[in-house]
Structure 1
Amino acid sequence: MKALLVLVMMFLGASAHLCPKTRADNSTFELRLNYAIEPCTGHVAWYKLGSYCVKHINQMLDYTSAENHCKSVKSGAHLVSIHNAEDNNAVDEFSQWSSRHDPRIWLGGHAVNDPSQASNFLWVDGSDMNFYAWIQEPKQPSGDGRCMEMNWLETGKWNDKPCSQKNLFVCAFKPDGGHLRVEATDKLEPEVSQLKPSKSGSYR
C-alpha cells in the first residue's frame, strides 16, 4: 500500500510540471499561482495572456535575432511587453512552465540610445512603458546592458543585459490583428535598430 502511495505521489508530481507546449488538446491549464491560460482560438500552440497571444520559443538567441524570429513566426508578433503585475506574474509562470531548466527570457524592452536617459526603456512593439519590475534597487536598470530580460536570480523580476547575450524568449501578438506603432526608431540601440519597420512605421 505504501509503495502504491509513493507511485501515485510521483505521478502527481510529474503531472504538476507538464509544459504547456506539450498539450495536444485545447484545454485550459492552471499555472502555479492559479493564473489560467487558455489557447488562442485559431492559433495553434499560442496561448492567451490578457489581450495578447503568447508563445514560448525554446531557442537561445540574442535580442535582435529573437525579435526577428517573433516577427517571422506570426504577422504582428514581437517580443512580449508587460503592462501590469498580473501579466508579469503570468509571463513568469509561463516561462517557468515552458522551460524549468532555464526560465530566463528576453522581454521586449530596450534602452534608448541617449546618455541623458540612461534608465529610459521602450517596448519594441511601441506600447507604453507603464509598469516596471526591475530587480535592482531603486527600481530601475543597473546599466549593465541595453536589453531587458526576466528571471535573472529572482523569478518575475527584470534585469538589463547586453543585447548580444543569448536567452530563450516569449513572442506575443494581438489576435485582433492590431499593430502597435514604434516611435523614434533612430534612438534605438544600433543592434536593435537593425529591425526594419514597415512603411507605416509599425514593426511586422
Structure 2
Amino acid sequence: MSVRLIVCLFIAVRKCKMAFTLRSFLLLCAIYGLFTNVSSDHKTQVKDNNCPKGWTRLDCHCYIYQPDARMLADAESVCNILGGNVVSIHSSLENAFVLELFEEGRDEDDSALWIGLHDTFNENEFLWLDGSDVDFTAFDEDSGEPDDSTSGCVSLAQDDGEWDTDPCSTDYPFICITEVLTHSH
C-alpha cells in the first residue's frame, strides 16, 4: 500500500467518526430537549400583546388574515404551519372582529372568507376544525342557511358578516387563530 492510500483511508475513517460523533451529539441534544421540555418557541418574535409578529389580539387569541385564497383543507394546513387553525368563532363580538380583519385586508373582489366550521361528516352536525364547542352561529337564516344541498364548509360573507355553506373546494381567503403566547420566566 502506498503512503498516499494509507493517508486517504485514515482521513476517510476520521471523517466518518466525526460525522458519527456530530450526528450523535445532535441526537443527544434533541433527546435532552424532549425530556427537559426545551423548545425553540422562545425564538418566536412576539409583539407587546403576546401575539406573534403580524397577528392581532382579541381576548385570549391572536388572529391573522391570509389573503391567498385556498380550499378549506389547504387553509387549515397553512394555519397549522403557522401554529393555529382556521378561525373558530364563539361570540357576536368575535364575529364582528373577524369581519373587521377581513374588511381591512381583503381585495375588492373577495366576497367571503373561510371560517373553520364544517359538517362534512354528518349533515347539519357542525364541527370546528380546532375541536372547540359550537356555542355560537351566525348563519344567514333568511337565505335558508345552513343549506342542506350545499357541501359542508362554512364561509363568512363580507357584506353582512353572516355565515353561508359553500363547497369545500371553493377558494377563499381565511383567518388563522392561535392562543396568546405565554412566557415562563
The normalised TM-score by structure 2 is 0.66
Aligned to 1:29: none
Instruction: Please report how far the alpha carbon of residue 51 of structure 1 lies from its aligned counterpart in structure 2 after TM superposition.
Output: 1.7
Paired residues of 2:120 and 2:153 also in contact (CA < 8 A): no
Aligned to 2:9: none
Give matches, 1:162-181, under 5 Å: 162-176=167-181
Give matches, 1:55-134, under 5 Å: 55-73=64-82, 75=83, 77-101=84-108, 102-114=110-122, 118-134=123-139
Listed one character per residue, the Cα deviations across residues 21-74 of structure 1 (whole Å, up to 9, x for unaligned) are xxxxx7xxxxxxxxxxxx74351000002321000001010010000010012x
Question: 1 CA distance for matches of 2:135 and 2:143?
Answer: 17
Question: 1 CA distance for matches of 2:67 and 2:117?
Answer: 19
| Larger of the two Rg values belongs to structure | 2
Moved more, 57-66 or 98-107: 98-107
Q: Which has the higher helix share?
A: 2
Paired residues of 1:133 and 1:139 also in contact (CA < 8 A): no
Paired residues of 1:40 and 1:46 also in contact (CA < 8 A): no
Given the superposition, is the C-alpha separation of residues 138 and 59 from structure 1 closer, same or farther in structure 2, using an over 3 Å criterion? closer
Given the superposition, is the C-alpha separation of residues 40 and 145 from structure 1 closer, same or farther in structure 2, using an over 3 Å criterion? farther
Give matches, 1:37-48, under 5 Å: 40-48=49-57
Give matches, 1:10-29, under 5 Å: none
> What SS does structure 2 have at the residue aligned with 1:137?
helix
Given the superposition, is the C-alpha separation of residues 141 and 42 from structure 1 closer, same or farther in structure 2, using an over 3 Å criterion? closer
1:155 aligns with 2:155: no
Report runs of 4+ in structure 1 exceeding 2 Å deviation. 39-42, 136-140
Paired residues of 2:115 and 2:154 also in contact (CA < 8 A): yes
Question: 2 CA distance for matches of 1:169 and 1:42?
Answer: 18
Question: 1 CA distance for matches of 2:142 and 2:133?
Answer: 22
Paired residues of 1:136 and 1:142 also in contact (CA < 8 A): no
Paired residues of 1:50 and 1:87 also in contact (CA < 8 A): no
Q: Percent identity?
A: 26
